Structure 1
Amino acid sequence: MELRNLTTFLAVAQTKSFSQAALALNYAQSTVTAQIQTLEDELGVLLFDRLGRHIAVTEAGKRLLDYAQQLVDLEKQARTVLAGDEEPVGSLTIGASETICTYRLPPVLRQFRSSYPRVQLMFRPLAFVDLVPGVRDGSIDVALLIQETAQSPVLNVSQIARERLVLVAEPGHYLTRVEQVYPLHLENETILYTERTCSYRRLFEQMVCEAGICLTANMEFSSIEAIKQCVMAGLGIAVLPEIAVARELARGDLAALPWYKPDWSAATLMVWHKEKWMSPALKAFIRLVHETFPVNQGVLA
């Protein structure tokens, strides 16, 4: 078995998509397909069920996952040890939610690439629900996400900042003229939600529920950009991190509603496995993130 084929197998298992795995690995999709086929032929088993446009890991594939991850990790360790510890080398797989990926990580990645050019960065923008499991199973070295807690006996969790949350609407919405917006004001409004597992969506729903309000008119999206465009089109109201709408607020494309809890925020966490080998590259990345977003600054502006 070739390690590159095992790496591709892990990427497909994590993303549940040949095309997404190809993007993550910077391969052509045909290369990913060929590598998986080669691995299946060598092992004499099917690793994935092809269900139309969807794929699922077979039982044989699930049994291979841990072994594949261990082999890939050992290869990383060997390369780093042989290269010496003075300069981080090898590869580093980073997972992040959409907001962190788009608005917080680029300057960190730019600085990291400049400081450690011999480290190959593999970046995976993933849904909230996939990030912590990815760290647990070893397919992700480190994850960054907006979530209040990520408690687990096998995880290191560091709060690196807090993100301000804002309730946004189109500029002409009547609630922009209200002194303060309470849950009761939203009773007949359409709410445009992020995915169900999103931490700040759950926080918002809890606040509204505690006020005794039931919001029945809502739409759910997997993309923050899609939500912003729909809010600007007058389709409803949304709760989003301020960093994700700062440009639209400054241009007047969106309006921030005067929510009754002005200091509303959610934690930004960095998560990595306690038992995973701490490569020099992983140590360097964690250190850089802490230097870039020191938690004692409080809420990020």
Structure 2
Amino acid sequence: MEISDLRIFQAVAECGSVSKAAKTLSYVQSNVTARIQQLELKLDTELFYRHRKGMTLTADGKKLLAYSQKILAMMEEVECAFQNDEDPSGPLLVGSVETVSCLPSILSLYHKKYPRVDLSLMSGVTEHLIQDVLQYELDGAFVSGPVQHPEIVQELLIEEELVLIAKAEGGPQTLEECSSRPLLVFRSGCGYRARLVQWLKSRGVEPTKIMELGTLETILAMVASGLGVTLVPRATISRLEHEGSIRLFSIPADYATVSTVFIYRRDSHTTGAMKRFLETLHLFRQERGASTA
């Protein structure tokens, strides 16, 4: 079995068809088909269910996919291990929740110092980003913490105050009124959403309506329009607070503080790009601490 066989297998699994995988890999379709058949023959099992809509992994196929993800990730680590740590290059794929207000400053600082690194950012909710890191799909991610998992290392970035926000003029005047309004939140798996629902339940309140929205910008716009309420770090709504378009409500201390952490796999090789990224985070924390002291 060759590494290229696993790359072809993984491409077919991700694309759901031989033709799409062949196009992605710039291979001839017949070559992809032959390599999959040879792999099945070698392992003496069927890796895919074939149907008119494409190909779906069998139980053995899912088992092989788990192994191939680990093997290919290790091969990438081997290649990255020989990079120049002082001037790293290559890809660095980072995920983040949308509410990290200091993220632009961190990424800008990193890019200026290490322009040869191909830095990419993916947004998502905490629960899904954690899974992406565990599945080697992300090199690391900024998520709501703390994160307790034996395979994950977490680096504290910031701690922030969470506030409940609603429309200022004509909006709810008290926490009790807020409790009866629709909750404007990210999809399930968001740490702030979980915190908001947990807090309301501690008050004996079951949310009457939960509306899932795709971006922080949309959520804030809908709050300002009076559609509902949400829970966010105070730093993310400084402009709206200054404009007076929203009203802020403090919540109990047990729910009012959120930490943002950067996570990565414990068993991952620390590439030059990642090493310098972690250094940038530490530098940012030091400078932030000095400026607030």
Report the TM-score when normalising by structure 2.
0.76
**What are the within-5 Å matches in structure 2 for residues 168-247 of structure 1?**
168-175=165-172, 178=173, 181-182=174-175, 184-247=176-239
> For residue 141 of structure 2, what is the aligned residue in structure 1?
143
Letter in 1 for 2:126: F
Cα separation, partners in 2 of 1:256 and 1:113, compared to 1, 3 Å: same
> For residue 270 of structure 1, what is the aligned residue in structure 2?
262
> For residue 112 of structure 1, what is the aligned residue in structure 2?
110
| Cα-to-partner distance string for 1:242-300 (whole Å, 9 max, x where unaligned) | 23322222233x313233447922110111111111112111101111221349849x9
Unmatched 5+ residue regions in structure 2? 41-46
| Cα-to-partner distance string for 1:83-106 (whole Å, 9 max, x where unaligned) | 444332332221112223xx3322
Pick the aligned partner of 1:258 from 249, 272, 281. Answer: 249
Pick the aligned partner of 1:121 from 119, 122, 125. Answer: 119
Query: Where does structure 1 differ by over 6 angstroms across 4 or more consecutive aligned residues?
Result: 35-38, 45-52
Rounded to whole Å, the distance in 2 between the matches of 1:186 and 1:50 is 51
Cα separation, partners in 2 of 1:95 and 1:203, compared to 1, 3 Å: same
> For residue 78 of structure 1, what is the aligned residue in structure 2?
79
Rounded to whole Å, the distance in 2 between the matches of 1:121 and 1:48 is 37
| Cα-to-partner distance string for 1:106-160 (whole Å, 9 max, x where unaligned) | 22222222212222223222332221112222221111112x3211111111221
SS at match of 2:102: helix
Contact 1:97 / 1:128 at 8 angstroms: preserved in 2? yes
> For residue 89 of structure 1, what is the aligned residue in structure 2?
89
Rounded to whole Å, the distance in 1 between the matches of 2:124 and 2:28 is 22
SS at match of 1:98: coil
Rounded to whole Å, the distance in 2 between the matches of 1:245 and 1:31 is 44
Rounded to whole Å, the distance in 2 between the matches of 1:110 and 1:36 is 41
- Shift of residue 2, structure 1, vs aligned partner: 8.0
Cα separation, partners in 2 of 1:188 and 1:75, compared to 1, 3 Å: closer
- Shift of residue 72, structure 1, vs aligned partner: 4.4
Query: Which has the larger displacement, 67-76 or 36-45?
Result: 36-45
Unmatched 5+ residue regions in structure 1? 19-28
Rounded to whole Å, the distance in 2 between the matches of 1:188 and 1:165 is 19
SS at match of 1:196: coil
- Shift of residue 207, structure 1, vs aligned partner: 1.7
Rounded to whole Å, the distance in 2 between the matches of 1:8 and 1:125 is 27
> For residue 43 of structure 2, what is the aligned residue in structure 1?
none
> For residue 164 of structure 1, what is the aligned residue in structure 2?
161
Letter in 1 for 2:248: L
Larger Rg: 2
SS at match of 2:249: coil
Contact 1:168 / 1:256 at 8 angstroms: preserved in 2? yes
Letter in 2 for 1:259: S
| Cα-to-partner distance string for 1:175-232 (whole Å, 9 max, x where unaligned) | 3xx4xx43x3334322222222211222222222112222213322232222122222
Query: Which has the larger displacement, 265-274 or 127-136?
Result: 127-136
Report the TM-score when normalising by structure 1.
0.74
Letter in 2 for 1:97: V
Matched, 1:155 2:149: no
